Every structure is written in C-alpha cells, then in structure tokens.
Amino acid sequence: QDAYDGRDFIAFDVDTMTFTAADAAAQITKRKWEGENVAERRKHYLETTCVEWLRKYVSFGQAVLERKEPPTVRVSGKEAHGTLTLHCRAY
C-alpha cells in the first residue's frame, strides 16, 4: 500500500497484479502505472529485492537480536500511612 499525507492512496495486490485506487486522485496514478507495467516491477521488488534486503539487514543485527543479557533492574519503595509501596523498573 502507498499512502500520502497520512491517508491511503493506492494498494497493490501481488496475486492479481492489480492496483486499487483509494480515491479519484489515485485513479490517475493507477492508469499511469498500469500503462507503464509498474505491476511487474512492484511484484519483483516485493518478492525478490525486498526479501534479499531484509535478510541482509537482519543478518547485520543478528548478534544484537540473539544476545541474552539480564535486564538492568531498579527497585525503590515509599512508605506512607503504614503502607509500603514498591516500584520495580526493568530496562
């Protein structure tokens, strides 16, 4: 899906290779993209290029994603009117 100014603009269905315009303004883009074979390029990007890049960039951060270290913990307490309230924060 593509959005503009926080609103849906146009969506692409990989299975049917079609674009769905969200409004009249997006119809212009839809007709242009259909005439320029953008669907083929979009499908290739989503199924090949995007997947390759995702694997590449996940591998860069693999060590960080898989690291296991205990959280930093801070405990504080406050007593008022005979009641002890504890706060535990984990980072």
How many structural domains compose the chain?
Answer: 1
Task: Name 8's bridge partners.
Answer: 3
- Encoded amino acid at 75, one letter: V
- For range 37-53, the mean pLDDT: 96
Query: Given pLDDT bands bounded at 50, 70 and 90, which one contains residue 89?
Result: very high
Question: What's the pLDDT tens digit per position in 17-30?
Answer: 999 999 999 999 99
What global pTM score does this model have? 0.61
- Encoded amino acid at 16, one letter: T
Domain with 66, as residue range(s), is 2-90
Q: Are 19 and 12 in contact (CB under 8 A)?
A: yes
Question: What's the pLDDT tens digit per position in 72-82?
Answer: 999 999 999 99
CA dihedral 16, 22, 25, 29 (to 10 degrees): -20
Say which DSSP state 23 is in: S
CATH number at residue 68: 3.30.500.10
